[in-house]
Structure 1
């Protein structure tokens, strides 16, 4: 293995926005041993404070499910894939055909735009450091650059919600989800997912899939876990992630990622 790619939330990052000392030490030891490390997350680049607190301003993070690549050291966007305001409007029409009550948010290169009513007091899955609540306007979406479109509904689960709309928006956006217990879809450029962007990043380092060790826990990690030479899903993770990886490690609370990295560095096959 030459590169370790890891999801954040639910994989190494706890709900209280901390990463355990054991996990931090394992990644530090991996770097010291000459392995490349990249974090691959659904988070926007503005929500990387927990990574910076734990690991400093070093390395690259693939954000927004692969739609954006961010340089932590230089604090700058290296690459992004956006969708147009016209595409957003078309997707909204499709979604509301099936779920008229659906509400939307757009993660852009400058902030988070929320339609009125997107959030309620019960929704604890969205962290909100920079938010503007206003009806969507295509010109504004185009100017700000939409890297991820969020759609939330009630009365069904995320898998059923995805099944309702995915075929009809194929070619317009990719569709996945990662928020436990919330019918919240995450949509981005149709050619983008975590695996696509990770593969390009690895290729730039002269590393192929067989040399990548990847960790994740939710459906937005499925392509990455299947692509990597060694994919591990968390024991506490989603069944789709487990099936894609073909391997599991202990839960987040048991430092499952650190356990695998420690075995790797000790020369134990993983």
Structure 2
């Protein structure tokens, strides 16, 4: 079947290892895809304000999916296309379960399509999440844990610099809290969204709304939060720097993100 949509993860996939740069070759590959009538979509664990800053003035500017599938937004208009949130009950349950084993964990909540952060006192490395890479203003305040967990989140981040994120993920999966969907993306924290929501569900929703079947979608990814998306797409591509789980479900493995692996595949597929 023809290719009608190309979806790509960002960090470790689309972007160079500086987590900012889309190479000229990759820009050209996506520009060529769009010129041939193919839709393109950036889909990330990042929030739309951050995705929007990076894809600005590139062929990927427009509709994006952030927060591991929890929110979709048009970066040109800031229209929210859809949003799914982790309930207060579920986020309190998973945090309480993890704190029983790792009492040093601190928590940050992203809300309101990712434009508002409420972060627990003591959470390391988040003085101002919108200061470095942001297309529009982002609100951020520090609070005690009760306030952090008081409202639903598009994404909840749990961090203890002394505990690997994969250890937190293993515990979260053992807890199996109803309503909570944990994952990791290569960042040092555990990421929790609404159960059943992933990049795969968001990509499927985006494709369905435009009349595309899975067979008409090509997806690129590299980490645990990409696995479901790679398994869903009609043609899936893992990066050479991908985690084993992403490689296992993919149809092929391309070069690394620093070697323009995404561009290499798009160029080949477009002939």
Structure 1 length-normalised TM: 0.89
SS of the aligned residue for 2:211 comes to coil
Separation of aligned partners in 1, 2:89 and 2:146: 9
The verdict on how the C-alpha distance between 1:171 and 1:86 changes in structure 2, with shifts beyond 3 A counting, is closer
In the alignment, what sits opposite 1:176?
A: 183
CA deviation string 1:97-154 (max 9, x = no partner): 121111111111131221111114xx89x95434211114459842xx4100011124
In the alignment, what sits opposite 1:6?
A: 8
CA deviation string 1:33-83 (max 9, x = no partner): 011111111111111201114337x43101100000111222221210112
SS of the aligned residue for 2:85 comes to coil
SS of the aligned residue for 1:24 comes to helix
**RMSD (Å), alpha carbons:** 2.1
Q: Tell me which of 143, 161, 178 is aligned to 1:134.
A: 143
Q: Tell me which of 252, 259, 265 is aligned to 2:270.
A: 265
In the alignment, what sits opposite 1:44?
A: 47
Describe how 1:183-194 pairs up with structure 2 within 5 A: 184-194=189-199
Question: Structure 1, unaligned stretches of length 5 or more?
Answer: none
Separation of aligned partners in 2, 1:216 and 1:139: 31
- Aligned positions, number: 258
Q: Tell me which of 171, 175, 193 is aligned to 1:164.
A: 171
Separation of aligned partners in 2, 1:133 and 1:103: 11
SS of the aligned residue for 2:56 comes to helix
Cα offset, 1:222, TM superposition: 0.4
Structure 2 length-normalised TM: 0.88
Q: Tell me which of 36, 47, 62 is aligned to 1:59.
A: 62
In the alignment, what sits opposite 1:153?
A: 160
Question: Structure 2, unaligned stretches of length 5 or more?
Answer: 132-137
In the alignment, what sits opposite 2:134?
A: none
Decide whether the 8 Å contact of 1:5 with 1:215 is kept in 2: yes
